[in-house]
A and B are shown apart, each in its own frame.
Chain A
């Protein structure tokens, strides 16, 4: 099956700085890669996704890049704000969804 590795496990940035979270996957047949934000006490929320026929996708301060050759994809958050503090999960679809281990992002005001 698929294996998704996510780094770093924790990330602390100053408000206004950028944050980057990286994931690698093992199965080249995976073709859909979503990112989720999970705030304390809540369920994961889909924030952005990318398909294998696209290299980059942006939505305001959030962007995702995909390198199919290297089998990795990244989440970029610019101009971070305290409300961006949460746990972020990447995932890859291969028959079912395989999730990364999560990154706890702390944005310091």
Chain B
């Protein structure tokens, strides 16, 4: 499976600011996704990052709050905008491979908003 890295691994940010998280894959992949995992909780899909077009957002997530870029088949970014303490979570990048787009996850970015 693809090797996925994320930057930064963790950050502490002040409310009202924005943070951009980078996801790099060591091979070209068709499908890339962004998930949120709130403390002690399960995984929630934020959006599908589409190469060359706008991301597809899930219900409850909007582009103004979570803008996503996907300039090529190996890289994507997620920005968390105008942060509040409720945005404190782990943000996970994943790729979908194989017949059922099996999900392989990066190590995550641990965000704390103060």
- A residues adjacent to B (C-beta < 8 A): 31-32, 34, 36, 41-46, 49, 51, 89, 91, 93, 96-97, 99-102
Contact = CB atoms under 8 A, between A and B. Distances in A.
B43 interface: yes
B103 interface: yes
A49 B43 contact: no
B92 A42 contact: no
Interface residues of B, number: 19
B42 A101 contact: yes
A102 B42 contact: yes
A96 B43 contact: no
Given A96-B45, A100-B42, A43 B103 contact: no
A97 B107 contact: no
Contacts of A99: 42-44
Given A89-B42, A99-B42, A102-B42, A43 B102 contact: no
A21 B106 CA distance: 24
Contacts of B34: none
B105 A45 contact: yes
Contacts of B41: 101-102
